Structure 1
């Protein structure tokens, strides 16, 4: 089972076509993300957060539409996104968690969301968490050998070691790499798929793989 989480990143980066394609799946609305889902005709199963980004009128609407609301004080030990993931795991024990609205906007919040799967509490779900926006798809990997498939329209491919890493090998991507090690985080950006299916491997650490595309501003 997949649980989708909508948080409060910029509206302009939300891929609404993907959101609507999943409207019948399980949804968690985080703070203003709950209102965003209601605006799209989706009623989340759960709403979570301190709701400091939600005005009184919006929160009244959330309370009228959603039965299960987990309200927290603004001063707390978790960010709202962390609370959304925590509740998704505790309530549903899903096979996959996809987070929308976790990118863009404030850089501190973006980085907090990017590094969230590394936290001890969520690391057991690291490979089940995915971030999606209009421009990027982020997946997380533990050591091993992997096959990855191209996504239509997403030209670029990046390999980001979020921790020290050993043995990173890009087998058949456009720009291969062999047995690369690093003691500090690093991003091998602007690589590309070479065909529809490519492979990579590494021996230790945590690697994020980002499929991305240029965003055309009209």
Structure 2
């Protein structure tokens, strides 16, 4: 059975290579400028959301007419970022996986917040991944299969003070019941030895980053 997926395009670094990820059955959410990006590349967002303060009134009209549904909010009187608003709506769709794009860029505060938001998705027992031009990130507190997606490196970073019981199979540098603590670099720049590897975790949350230089 095909996985139910929600793809979020936000207003950070956007590139046409992300469009290759779209499948016909995907539910597409455009957050702020991400909605305009989809429309200008001939995709109709199922949902556009945000305060739309980063686009012109003319472009906002394009978003209104080019989206199946639009939810706009006041740019001042709101507590959540556009990406978080989109993520909450994505979770309500109860998909198998949420894929985030356009959520990294020059604003490190937004980038870090968006990475941390993956924990909220995991709490709903939904897989979540974050994609940009050089990285593919996932979060696990149990077990995941890491597929060869064409990235050179696989790095592991604790998202909790420590992550225990880490076991790696199918990697150049295997681990067996290891512990990683915040501030340690032991998990940086590993590599797959084949088409996939397995990571299991007994305690804590582990960020898995596949990356290229």
Q: TM-score, normalised by structure 1?
A: 0.86
Aligned partner of 1:143 in structure 2 is: 142
- Cα distance in 2 for partners of 1:108, 1:189 equals 22
The aligned runs of 1:22-171 (5 Å cut-off) are 22=23, 25-75=26-76, 76-90=78-92, 92-119=93-120, 122-125=121-124, 127-144=126-143, 146-151=144-149, 153-163=150-160, 164-171=162-169
- Cα distance in 2 for partners of 1:10, 1:30 equals 13
Relative distance call for 1:177 and 1:25 in structure 2 (3 A) is same
Relative distance call for 1:126 and 1:158 in structure 2 (3 A) is farther
Aligned partner of 1:6 in structure 2 is: 9
- Cα distance in 2 for partners of 1:40, 1:23 equals 15
> Does the aligned pair in 1 maintain the 2:45–2:68 contact within 8 Å?
no
Q: 1:185, CA displacement in angstroms?
A: 5.6
Q: 1:172, CA displacement in angstroms?
A: 3.4
Deviations along 1:2-23, one digit per CA (max 9) or x if unpaired, are: 11110011235x524524x435
Q: TM-score, normalised by structure 2?
A: 0.88
> Does the aligned pair in 1 maintain the 2:165–2:203 contact within 8 Å?
yes
Count matched residues: 207
Unaligned runs of 5+ in 1: none
Unaligned runs of 5+ in 2: none
